[in-house]
Structure 1
Amino acid sequence: MKTLEDIAVRLIWWKSPAEAIKDPKRFLAQVMVYGTIKDIAAARKYFSDDDFLDVLKNPPTGVFDPRSWAYWNLMFDMYPPGLLPRRKFGKTSEKLPEEK
Structure 2
Amino acid sequence: MEKTLEEAVVMPEHVITQAMNIGDYADVQTLISQVGDEALREVLTHAEAGQFNERSWAYWHYRLDLSSVDHVPPLPVRKFV
Indicate the TM-score class for this superposition, using the shorter chain for normalisation.
Answer: 0.7 to 0.9
Question: Hey, what's the Cα distance between the residues in 1 that align with 2:73 and 2:25?
Answer: 24
Percent sequence identity over aligned pairs:
31
Deviation at 1:42, TM superposition (A): 1.5
Superimposed CA distance per residue, residues 5-63 of structure 1 (whole angstroms, 9 cap, x where no aligned partner): xxxxxxxx521133123212211110011101111111122202110000111113211
TM-score after normalising by structure 2: 0.81
Unaligned runs of 5+ in 2: none
Number of aligned residues: 78
Structure scoring higher RCO (CA < 8 A, sep ≥ 6) equals: 2
Highest Rg: 1 or 2? 1
User: Greater share of helix residues, 1 or 2?
Assistant: 2
Partner of 1:97: none
Unaligned runs of 5+ in 1: 1-12, 94-100
Partner of 1:86: 77
TM-score after normalising by structure 1: 0.67
